[in-house]
Amino acid sequence: MNANFLQTPITYLKSVGPNRAETLNKELGIFTYRDLLQLFPNRYLDKTQYYKINQLQPSGADLQIVGKIVHIKTVEQKRGKRLVATFVDDTGQMELVWFRGHKWIRENLKLNEPYVVFGRISRYGSTFSMAHPEMELLTAHQKGLKIAMQPIYPSTEKLSAKGITNRVMSQMVQQLFLECKGQFNESLSTQILDELKLISKSEALLNIHFPKNQDLLAKAQFRLKFEELFFVQLQLISKKLLRKQKIKGMPFSEVGSYFNTFFKEHLPFELTNAQKRVIKQIRNDLGSNAQMNRLLQGDVGSGKTIVALLCMLLAMDNEFQACLMAPTEILAQQHFNGLKDLLGQMDVKIDLLTGSTKKSARKTIHEGLQSGELHILVGTHAILEDTVQFKNLGLAIIDEQHRFGVAQRSKLWHKNEIPPHILVMTATPIPRTLAMSLYGDLDISVIDELPPGRRPIKTVHRFDSNRLKVFQFIKDEIKKGRQVYVVYPLIAESEALDYKDLMDGYESIARDFPLPGYQISIVHGKMKPADKEYEMERFVKGETQIMVATTVIEVGVNVPNASVMIIESAERFGLSQLHQLRGRVGRGAEQSFCILMTGHKLSEDSKTRLETMVRTNDGFEIAEVDLKLRGPGDLMGTQQSGMLNLKIADIVKDNQILQTARFYAMNLLKKDPALQKEENRSILQAYQNLSQDKTIWNYIS
């Protein structure tokens, strides 16, 4: 069946028409034959067996029975009426019941004709009954496509209201198969089909919609999941190869005095092996003729900033400028301060540009950028403004890129005639599964060890009933000269949820840690920025020992002397948030602690999150657990990351299939980069159709 036929508008399918088509468009996004073909069932009802009435059990199961209607009556009840039919087979009798649609049903039921009825069994007294059964005359049942297992399609209230029931959906799909004669173009090569023992495309589609049995259903699911993930990987990998061939980068061939001076005289500590490995990977990229597009992953405190600075110094050695863009002012300010401290007395001009930069300072920055005197610009979205023009931007570094939209990121590309090299940094560890799918077109580097002298944070879970012991522990730590964070999930009292809110917490801590012995800072989202800065500043300087805060401190504050993080109502936080918060301590040489406080009532997911936090400090392991608990859409924030619009595969559950698909896509592109060989013709054809269809390639990294 040619691909053009599948582009036919759904209106033209027999029994659909304009009104139904409009409902299908709005409710399920079905516009063409292909869309309907790719509306895969959510689950299946097994219709492989026919039961006798004397075999029935009050199990609440959906069953099918062959028999005849011998009598119909209307029964009055408190509210309205019900229609009751006596249904018999050669072993006994039962009732079929309808609470609505009586007139139509009465007119259409045939007495003493063999029917196949299907529905949920219940029992009243000694009589079995089935309410609103699906019914089909045995003669029609035997003629139809033999559906052993009945597909259940996604539905909505509006679809049901407009009479587009599951049965109608199933009939539409059957009609589509009749029109296509069950023949669909193969989209994989014979070699892949043979090696993986996959069933054909036509067989797979037939058995995903109308499986004859469990075994064929499993084969159809595997085949279609593999195919979907294979084409996603083919798209990502070929995009990466194409970019490396087509988009020429600016080679940074010099390793000059900026890089060497910093490396020999200003490097504050010996680089870890992971940092050295990553810098080598980046230097190879920058030295080649292709534009770099690399994702740098590293946990909180793993030393990404040093790597970023060394890259920027390489740009300067090759007479290019560099910029570093962060999602918030606090983070941009912190990067700026950190870089300035690292550079010390070196002759490097660096400046900060955010929304609150004064007009006069902006003018100076713009002039410095255009003349080339300003080497490094750190900032927020403000860097993307059209008025910000560089003389020669060679490297753009984006921190926490999932907070920036695609359009914003592409603006950076156009800040120079030749696109700058791009380094994307994230402290949110992205599980490999997700990285392969979301960032499959980026090269990925990972800093997976902490700098020397950093001790792993000890994490414990304590119930509210242990609070006095926890307070005593805090006092002991403060005596040693340490500082403490106490983080709350709420700001205002929530009546529905009996959580201690921030102000309550603050008051109880103030009672247990009274003045003048203890000083307490408080920070939350409703404060004015200036007040927030003032309170944070006091804590940073060590003037206060305890910082009571909401999650505003998740990113930003770096206080090496803070060694205890207490997270109140920890069950209300997601795993990645807990991990980010924990990363606020453990920045000095002393042993640090994270205490997760909760009530006794915990859901299974909450228990899993808390156990994971106590068990490991490894951000990647935590991210894998988080992905399993929350699913990929939630994890990345769908809008920004452009999550995959997958029809059947699930990149978490089908991780193994994803790995296999990536392996086959890589191999294919190594041997036949342009898919020109005769044996790959079917792959090329399917690939071109998908590229025109655009629905699957709805993201850019």
201-209 and 214-246 helices, crossing angle to 10°: 130
* Banded pLDDT at 405 (limits 50, 70, 90): low
User: Which residue ranges form the domains of the chain, and what is each CATH number?
Assistant: 48-146 (2.40.50.140), 257-287+303-426 (3.40.50.300), 458-616 (3.40.50.300)
User: What pLDDT was estimated at residue 635?
Assistant: 42
CA-based torsion, 194, 197, 198, 202: positive or negative: positive
**Cβ–Cβ under 8 Å, residues 436 and 662:** yes
**Which of 148 and 388 is assigned the larger pLDDT?**
388
The 10s digit of each residue's pLDDT in 221-238 is 999 999 999 998 898 888
Which of 156-165, 526-535, 667-676 has the least mean pLDDT? 526-535
User: What pLDDT was estimated at residue 643?
Assistant: 47
Residue 7, C-beta contacts closer than 8 angstroms, at least 6 positions apart: 32, 33, 34
Which of 69-78, 317-326, 492-501 has the least mean pLDDT? 492-501
Kindly state the average pLDDT of the residues 17-32.
93
The 10s digit of each residue's pLDDT in 170-214 is 999 999 999 988 889 999 999 999 999 999 999 999 999 998 887
Percent of the chain with pLDDT over 90: 50
The 10s digit of each residue's pLDDT in 126-152 is 889 999 999 999 988 887 766 568 889
CA-based torsion, 161, 163, 167, 173: positive or negative: negative
**Cβ–Cβ under 8 Å, residues 36 and 8:** no
642, pLDDT greater than 50 = no
At 87, which amino acid appears?
A: F
User: What pLDDT was estimated at residue 58?
Assistant: 74
User: What pLDDT was estimated at residue 491?
Assistant: 47
User: What pLDDT was estimated at residue 309?
Assistant: 96
* Banded pLDDT at 598 (limits 50, 70, 90): very high
* Banded pLDDT at 633 (limits 50, 70, 90): low
Global pTM reads 0.64
Burial class (CB in 10 A: 0-12, 13-18, 19+), 431: buried
* Dist CA 682 CA 680 (whole Å): 6
User: What pLDDT was estimated at residue 644?
Assistant: 59
473, pLDDT greater than 90 = yes
Backbone φ and ψ for 109, nearest 5 degrees, come out as: -75, 140
Percent of the chain with pLDDT over 70: 89
Strand-pair category, 81-89 with 62-76: antiparallel
Start-end of H helices in 166-269: 166-180, 190-195, 201-209, 214-246, 257-261
Beta-ladder partners of 71: 86
User: What pLDDT was estimated at residue 637?
Assistant: 41
Tell me, rounded to whole angstroms, the distance of Cα 161 from its chain centroid: 33
Q: Which helix (H) or strand (E) holds 321?
A: strand 321-325
110, pLDDT greater than 70 = yes
* Banded pLDDT at 552 (limits 50, 70, 90): low
Kindly state the average pLDDT of the residues 260-266.
92
339, pLDDT greater than 90 = yes
Backbone φ and ψ for 12, nearest 5 degrees, come out as: -80, -5
User: What pLDDT was estimated at residue 609?
Assistant: 94
Tell me, rounded to whole angstroms, the distance of Cα 123 from its chain centroid: 45
9, pLDDT greater than 90 = yes
Give me the chain's average pLDDT, please: 86
Tokens standing for 625? 């657990």
Q: Which of 34-48, 376-390, 527-541 holds the top average pLDDT? A: 376-390
**Which of 555 and 106 is assigned the larger pLDDT?**
106
**Which of 536 and 474 is assigned the larger pLDDT?**
474
Q: Which of 324-328, 437-441, 496-500, 544-548 holds the top average pLDDT? A: 544-548
* Banded pLDDT at 573 (limits 50, 70, 90): confident
Kindly state the average pLDDT of the residues 619-641.
64
500, pLDDT greater than 70 = no
